[in-house]
């Protein structure tokens, strides 16, 4: 019976966790940043037992991976008309935290403007009317953050139709 508090160094991870019928406590957390952390468990005792502490365990947290999805609101799009690209960056399990940071769009291998920040949902919309008529290869590059490695979308084949002349 009783509870266990887990620590990374001197910082508590979450609150105390109750022991199950086998005397085991489990904690899932996304509080640990990338790097190596010295983790220990402290048994908080009960009416029959004293407090106790485990040895330290070196827990390595590696950067997570993401999937980057790129879509276009119109394909083909009319030349000179605004075209919106949507980039969604999602964590790959077991990671669960929403990626933060910036995304850069490339049109035919050339960056389109400056990188833009992801929203709180891991999504960003980029609108441009700068694409010339013809076929273009569009790529979204997630630049990474303190939890996730950089990643790129699959190439998107974007078509831009020529303007029709009116007489």
Characterize the bridge pairing of strands 3-8 and 35-43. Answer: antiparallel
State how far the Cα of 104 lies from the Cα of 87, in Å rounded to an integer: 10
Distances (CA, A) of 18 to 15, 45, 48, 49: 10, 11, 16, 15
State how far the Cα of 18 lies from the Cα of 9, in Å rounded to an integer: 21
Which element (helix H / strand E) includes 39?
A: strand 35-43
How confident is residue 94, by pLDDT bands cut at 50, 70 and 90?
confident
State how far the Cα of 65 lies from the Cα of 166, in Å rounded to an integer: 50
| Average pLDDT value for residue range 52-69 | 95
- HEC profile of 130-166: CCCCEEEEEEEEECCCCCECCEECCCEEEEEECCCCC
- Going 45 to 51 to 54 to 58, the CA torsion angle's sign is positive
Per-residue pLDDT tens over the stretch 103-130: 999 999 999 999 999 999 999 999 999 8
Per-residue pLDDT tens over the stretch 12-48: 999 999 999 998 999 988 788 899 999 999 999 888 8
Q: What contacts 24+ positions apart, CB below 8 Å, involve 9-15?
A: 9/37, 9/38, 13/39
57 neighbors 65 (Cβ within 8 angstroms): no
Query: Tokens 């947290």 correspond to what residue?
Result: 61
pTM: 0.78
Task: Answer whether residue 151 shows pLDDT above 80.
Answer: yes
């Amino acid at each position: 019976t009783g509870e266990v508090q887990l620590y990374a160094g001197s910082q508590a991870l979450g609150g105390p966790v109750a022991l199950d019928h086998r005397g085991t406590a489990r904690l899932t957390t996304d509080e640990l940043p990338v790097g190596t952390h010295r983790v220990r468990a402290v048994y908080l005792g009960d009416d029959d037992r004293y407090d106790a502490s485990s040895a330290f365990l070196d827990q390595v947290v590696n950067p997570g991976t993401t999937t980057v999805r790129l879509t276009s609101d119109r394909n083909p799009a009319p030349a000179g008309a605004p075209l919106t690209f949507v980039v969604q960056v999602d964590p790959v399990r077991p990671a669960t935290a929403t990626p933060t940071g910036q995304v850069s769009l490339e049109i035919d291998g050339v960056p389109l403007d400056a990188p833009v920040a992801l929203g709180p949902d891991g999504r960003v919309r980029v609108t441009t009317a700068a694409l010339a008529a013809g076929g273009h290869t569009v790529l979204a590059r997630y630049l990474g953050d303190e939890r996730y490695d950089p990643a790129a979308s699959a190439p998107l084949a974007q078509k831009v139709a020529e303007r029709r002349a009116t007489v």
